[in-house]
Amino acid sequence: MICAFEGWNDAGDAASGAASFIAAQLDARRFAGIDPEEFYDFQSSRPRIALAEGNERTITWPTVEMFEARAPRANRDLVLVQGIEPSLKWRTFSTLVVDLAEALGVQIIVTLGALLADIPHSRPVAMTGFASDPAMLTRLNLQPSSYEGPTGIIGVLHNACARAGLPSASIWASVPHYVAAASNPKASLALVRKLESIVGVSVDVSELELASEEYERQIGLAVQSDPDIQAFVERLERATDEQRESLHPESLPSGESLAREFQRFLRQRGDGR
Q: State pLDDT tens for residues 163-193.
A: 999 999 999 999 999 888 889 999 999 999 9
Instruction: Return all residues near 23 (Cβ < 8 A) that are at least 6 apart.
Output: 67, 69, 80, 82
Closest to 131 in 3D by CA, of 159, 163, 167: 167
Q: Is 74 exposed, middle or buried (0-12, 13-18, 19+ CB in 10 A)?
A: middle
**Residue 89: CATH number of its domain:** 3.40.50.10900
Residue 262 confidence (pLDDT): 56
> Are 143 and 103 contained in the same domain?
yes
pTM: 0.84
Residue 249 reports pLDDT greater than 50: no
> Are 143 and 254 contained in the same domain?
no
> Are 183 and 224 contained in the same domain?
no
> Are 179 and 241 contained in the same domain?
no
Residue 26 reports pLDDT greater than 70: yes
Q: Which domain holds residue 237?
A: 210-268
Instruction: Kindly report which listed range (92-96, 122-126, 137-141, 268-272) carries the lowest average pLDDT score.
Output: 268-272
Q: Residue 269: which pLDDT band, with cuts at 50, 70 and 90?
A: very low
> Are 40 and 71 contained in the same domain?
yes
Q: Residue 252: which pLDDT band, with cuts at 50, 70 and 90?
A: very low
> Are 45 and 151 contained in the same domain?
yes
Residue 38 reports pLDDT greater than 80: yes
With contact defined as beta carbons under 8 Å apart, do 93 and 153 qualify?
A: yes
Q: Residue 243: which pLDDT band, with cuts at 50, 70 and 90?
A: low
Domain count, the chain: 2
Region 110-124: mean pLDDT is 93
